[in-house]
Amino acid sequence: MRKVGIIGDCLKGFPLFCYKGILFAVLFLLMDAATSGAAEKAMDKIAVFPATPYEGYIIYESLAVFWLFIISLIVIIRMKLREIERIQALGVEKEDQDAPLLE
């Protein structure tokens, strides 16, 4: 049995695991009581999407255009990388020693 050093001799011989369990239970109850009222008030005030359907439509349309733009960028980058790999496979970037010089 270990004694708790914070409180000192008051809890001499009190098991440490019981002390931690009681402390966590009290802290959980205090945090639950402190945040429950604030959570209810916050839920009443926060509106995630606008109330009118037209503004909601604009939000969804903007999201669709954004994701369409992102996907098209990925496709364009992939096409360019494939073109670079194709050119490297042909060996175009290597210099030919037997090619005549144009002067």
Whether 46 and 38 have beta carbons less than 8 Å apart is answered as: no
Question: Which whole-number Å values give the CA distances from 24 to 15, 21, 28, 88, in the listed order?
Answer: 15, 5, 6, 64
Pull the structure tokens for residue 30: 């205090």
- Residue with the bigger pLDDT between 26 and 15: it is 26
- Listed by start position, the domains of the chain span 1-46, 48-92
Residues 6+ apart with CB under 8 A from 4: 11, 14, 16, 19
pLDDT of 14 above 60: no
- Residue with the bigger pLDDT between 30 and 15: it is 30
* pTM value > 0.75: no
pLDDT of 76 above 90: yes
- The predicted structure's pLDDT at residue 100: 79
- Residue with the bigger pLDDT between 75 and 40: it is 75
Mind listing the pLDDT tens digit for each residue in 19-64? 677 777 777 766 665 566 666 666 666 666 667 777 778 888 999 9
Whether 1 and 13 have beta carbons less than 8 Å apart is answered as: yes
- The predicted structure's pLDDT at residue 89: 87
pLDDT classification of 77: cutoffs 50, 70, 90: very high
- Report the candidate in 5, 29, 32 with the shortest Cα–Cα distance to residue 19: 5
Quote the mean pLDDT of the chain: 75
Stated length of the chain: 103
